[in-house]
Chain A
């Protein structure tokens, strides 16, 4: 009995000691916040696998970033904000120069980490999620929603259904329902959808689904009652497949359902079987499929038994998105090394690289990402680049991407972003950066 207490006390005391210092080799440390357990694991696992596989590829194929090897460590967040913050605190100081950048993979965690970024000076990359107003790099100096935000996504969907109806003005009197995950992630597009609803006269029906999203019978009964013309799905994890199943059960045509780019992956549609045929979703950055980089992955990583996930899962939508996210981070480091030297870099130096990213088609081809990346260039003022996406439809076996690229309407978005960023800056008493002065 006493021995037990002593052992426990000793263990707790030992935990007070700082974590053991790892071999401080010439390495760039990449923290990986992931969730491989819990209700969001079906979607979290492929993304994390893609991200980690790319880091392994860069080490194996290229010997690191210009000779600087990549070291990484995963931390399980379970999509919970407090665990995410704890993982952040644990990993931010690791490695010779601290963490390179964080991909929180959760809008909730992003909100929490954004406040810390101003004092910790580590970039937070939120490819296609996070705060929609963080495009403004003058207020959100450390957030990078590369590839687009939820306002972009919502805007694109409204434009697309407007096109289907024969013009945005034809949306007047129509009903669009938003079935959304009841979290910052799901609530983020509401601001833009309300603006568009006022502009074009369509009725917006808000139907929140509580975490984890397995109970949607009442939600879809309401959909059946209201009979909206379109349903936009903003779900994650188990909520996506449940939504499609409930749509089948209440007889809502899946062709009228449009999911955001986080509601359009294989784990979301396969559980519903044939019922998911005709379901549409946005796809940005990287669609499903395999290209040059996948061949390299098989050659350098999987054939050597180093693959993180299963070999037949590479090429899925979320896996490719993880690859793209890792690639963008690596390229930012590479770009920053041009300015700061070929050595391990701090988060602040990596931020310079993130603000000066310019990936054109030639660069994408060199990286092996042709077809799986869109040209992207960032700046101090615009931390996201030009968002573009397409619509993909599930045919029962695979996603088929429709032609026609969608862009968000910046005349609507820019003022919204500016006013929201200003509000944040005044609430948190943040001094805005002056991008012109920093560049010149």
Chain B
């Protein structure tokens, strides 16, 4: 118990912070739940992007800075192809494109850099980001494109008898949450039950051992990048249908970075839990803490959420340096 006191203290502090707006009456319960739901939904979106990070890092040890650009590229492909063919076909074609992209990245970027240290691989994926940004816009264009999932955008007022004013919920958000849950379930099944999944987990544990028992590393890496590409596609479709598909989408993916460091780079569960924590924390801070700070320090407006996620992740890191669900790192001299 005494070993874990920093984690416990942080957890308690956060829970107190979470309950404060309700307790002090600064927010009516109905609105508080709306903010909570909004935070959870944002969190789901971040988790989808963070999932891609975690998958690739788990299997190949590469921190894929290009995940955001992949989300954008996938979304652009779906949006533009869907202008000519039905949506489901567009998604299938986009999956093919993302798989091809995964193959190209593995062949030309990863394989030559196979034994380099982390920084070099990080920089390489940054290079891939720049390349994908330019390539995506050249091929698909810089305008704002629509992805129409056919879900109504108008919010629905529920529970207006229980809470004063009711709670505004969006059908789209629930669809997004359902899709994310389905994706995580599917991935878990894939990793636990299929042979390829087992091979992926073996590679994630120890590259050399996996190689020595005959698992083809290159092919595994193509597979994992394709799976990450598919995850990026799902994230892109959901983000895109909510926000519209445009170049700026890739910068939103930067928000997923605190999620992975909070959850641990190698953990899928961490990506989900981390995403939810960051999403809720961010929105709560922006809506409730922001105005307090603005008044206290005479600031020119809020916008706290831009750094709050990072600070939150940092606090978690200080008490658990490898993230909530990450693996402990042992240094050998």
Contact = CB atoms under 8 A, between A and B. Distances in A.
**A and B in contact, CB less than 8 Å:** yes
Contact of B142 (A41, A207, A209, A215): A41
B287 A222 contact: yes
B34 A41 contact: no
Interface in B227-258: 242-244, 246-249, 251-252, 255
Interface string A146-185: 0000000000000000000000000000000000001000
A224 B244 contact: no
B155 A245 contact: no
A208 interface: yes
A214 B153 contact: no
Contact of B287 (A210, A214, A225): A225
Contacts of A206: 300-301
B155 A221 contact: no
Given A38-B142, A218-B283, A238-B248, A210 B153 contact: no
A263 to B, nearest CB: 14
Interface in A305-330: none
B168 A224 contact: yes
B302 A273 contact: no
Interface stretch (A12-20, A246-254, A344-352, A385-393): A246-254
Interface of A: 36-39, 41-42, 45, 182, 187, 206-210, 212-215, 217-218, 221-222, 224-225, 237-238, 241-242, 245, 248-251, 267, 271-273, 275
Nearest to B138: A37
A267 B143 contact: yes
Contacts of B143: 41-42, 45, 267
Contacts of A237: 248
A42 B246 contact: yes
B42 A217 contact: yes
The 9 closest A-B pairs by CB, nearest first: A218-B286, A41-B142, A212-B248, A39-B248, A208-B301, A271-B244, A206-B301, A214-B248, A271-B144
Contacts of B251: 39, 212, 214
B154 interface: yes
Contacts of A208: 300-303
B248 A250 contact: no
A217 B283 contact: yes
Contact of A245 (B27, B243, B287): B243
A245 B246 CA distance: 14
A218 B287 contact: yes
A229 to B, nearest CB: 17
A36 B282 contact: no
Nearest to B170: A249
Contacts of A241: 144, 244
B283 A273 contact: no
Contacts of B35: 221
Interface in B157-172: 157, 168, 170, 172
Interface of B: 27, 31, 34-35, 38, 42, 137, 142-144, 146, 153-155, 157, 168, 170, 172, 242-244, 246-249, 251-252, 255, 282-283, 286-287, 290-291, 300-303, 305-306
Contacts of A39: 246-248, 251
Contacts of B243: 214, 242, 245
B42 A182 contact: no
A221 B38 contact: yes
6 contacts: A39-B248, A42-B143, A214-B243, A218-B38, A218-B305, A225-B287
Contact of B137 (A37, A215, A225, A275): A37
Contact of A215 (B287, B302, B305): B305
Given A42-B142, A271-B144, A37 B247 contact: yes
A213 B146 contact: no
A275 B242 CA distance: 13
B153 A215 contact: no
Given A36-B142, A275-B154, A225 B31 contact: yes
A210 B303 contact: yes
B154 A248 contact: yes
Nearest to A220: B38
A39 B247 CA distance: 6
A271 B247 contact: no
Q: Which of B146, B153, B244, B283 has the most CB of A within 10 A?
A: B244
Given A267-B144, A271-B144, A41 B247 contact: yes
B144 A42 contact: yes
A213 B246 CA distance: 12
B303 A224 contact: no
Contacts of B300: 187, 206, 208
Contacts of A273: 146, 153
A78 to B, nearest CB: 10
A213 B247 CA distance: 12
Q: Which of B246, B290, B302 has the most CB of A within 10 A?
A: B246
Contacts of B282: 218
Given A208-B303, A225-B27, A250-B155, 18 more contacts: A37-B247, A39-B246, A39-B247, A41-B142, A41-B247, A42-B144, A182-B303, A206-B300, A208-B300, A212-B251, A214-B252, A215-B255, A221-B34, A221-B287, A224-B34, A242-B243, A248-B154, A250-B168
A218 B34 CA distance: 11
Nearest to B284: A218
